[in-house]
Amino acid sequence: MSKSQNPLGDFDYRVACDDFLIYELGRLVEEDRALLEDDEFRRVIDAGIHEHIERKLEIRASMAERLRSSGQAGDRTLRAIEDIETPLRDIPEIVYSYAGYLIQRLEQCSETAPDERVTTAADALLDSPDDRSVAELSIDVLASARSAVSARILAYVISEPLLEEDLEMKAYEQLKQMWPLPRHYILYSLKPHSHEDLPFRWFQLMIECNEPSGVDRILEEIIVHGSHPDYREDLIALVQLLDQARDPETEDKVLQVLNSEETPEDAGRILENYLKNTQAQRHKDRNGPWGGMDRVYASNRRYLAAVRLVDNGKKSEAARAIEELLEEDPQYPFALMLKGLLQGSGSS
């Protein structure tokens, strides 16, 4: 699909050079596997679309502005972009645009020299994890660098039995301070469920950092591995993390999995035992990321209502609806974008 055929052909998705997927893409290019027909390459593209587009309202709004400005109002791709509950990973215009951008971005980033402090500290930590003084200094250097690369290295070392327990906790506490920098690497690595042992620290990190999908990720592990006796001890430890979860829907999510016909019997027993023995107080407040997500979804529904007014030619009514939305959510990217377009065209 050429740029002339695709209005998003040269769109800037603003991916940083230290992003994990740039690293993954580089490996696949070296292996001549940068093809959409390759399963792992497509997994990179799907993960990137989710992380860099679906979750980024500013990016979606900029894409919507590009399409609306080029006369694409009413287009299926535009409607999907503007409705934030719609996944974008199967829309050809976005897949081809994003894949082409990521390869071009890899070429640009290859000209940027890596941070020598990080590479030296990483090599020292991974080569000599048993040398306490080297390991401790390396952890300090990586934490002070505070980059996606240093966060990935620390995330890796806490997932493996490499360090003495107190040093592992030191690395873990530093990662908590760096959240959400290690988030994408952790979620991407967990997705295939190819781990022989469950990286308990990763799930602990998600729960303690109020990752919105933390409870879902734990329940997914129980569903996938619940029937395998080799994982049973790890899963019993993992499910106890649910006691610490601040997700207000934790209990509802557990019951939903427990009552699903698709949940394996062994997984169901783990959850039944958990519910029988838990003493946790459920968090019913909507503060934190969950409340923020509710507000974002509510704003999007109001934005979509304003868009329907625009598409039906009722620009003045749409402008009033957008102003009312911005009074409650002054920085909502879609509303700011549409307000600019309406002012530019004259809302009458």
CA distances to 162, 198, 201, 345 from 159, in Å: 8, 8, 6, 54
* b/e per residue 209-227 (b: at least 16 CB within 10 A): bebeebbebbbebbbebbe
Q: One-letter amino acid identity for 139?
A: I
Task: Return the pLDDT at 40.
Answer: 96
CA dihedral angle for residue 78, residue 81, residue 1, residue 38, rounded to 10 degrees: -160
Number of helices (H), then strands (E), belonging to the chain: the values are 18, 0
Task: Return the pLDDT at 290.
Answer: 86
* pLDDT per residue as tens digits for the range 259-268: 999 999 999 9
Q: Which two tokens stand for residue 48?
A: 């990137």
Q: Which two tokens stand for residue 34?
A: 């940068």
Q: Which two tokens stand for residue 38?
A: 């390759």
Task: Return the pLDDT at 72.
Answer: 80
Q: Which two tokens stand for residue 173?
A: 């506490």
Task: Return the pLDDT at 165.
Answer: 96
CA distances to 74, 195, 214, 317 from 71, in Å: 9, 47, 40, 21
Cα(264)–Cα(267) distance, rounded to whole angstroms?
A: 5
Task: Return the pLDDT at 4.
Answer: 55
CB 97 within 8 A of CB 11: yes
Task: Give SS3 for 169.
Answer: helix
Task: Return the pLDDT at 282.
Answer: 59
Cα(177)–Cα(150) distance, rounded to whole angstroms?
A: 12
Residue 267 half-sphere exposure toward CB, CA atoms < 13 A:
22
The DSSP line for 224-285 is: HHTT-GGGHHHHHHHHGGGGG---TTHHHHHHHHHH-TTS-HHHHHHHHHHHHH--PPP---
Task: Return the pLDDT at 289.
Answer: 87
CA dihedral angle for residue 81, residue 86, residue 92, residue 93, rounded to 10 degrees: 0
Q: Which two tokens stand for residue 320?
A: 């009033």
Cα(101)–Cα(124) distance, rounded to whole angstroms?
A: 34
Q: Which two tokens stand for residue 32?
A: 């001549």
Strands (E) in the chain, as ranges, are none
Cα(263)–Cα(275) distance, rounded to whole angstroms?
A: 16
Q: Which of 164, 14, 177, 162 is nearest to 101 (CA)?
A: 14
Q: Mean pLDDT of residues grouped by 10 in the chain (348 residues)?
A: 74 96 96 96 97 97 94 87 96 96 96 93 96 97 96 97 96 97 96 92 97 97 95 95 94 95 95 87 66 92 96 95 96 97 76
Query: Cβ–Cβ contacts within 10 Å for residue 301, how many?
Result: 11
Task: Return the pLDDT at 20.
Answer: 94
Task: Return the pLDDT at 51.
Answer: 96
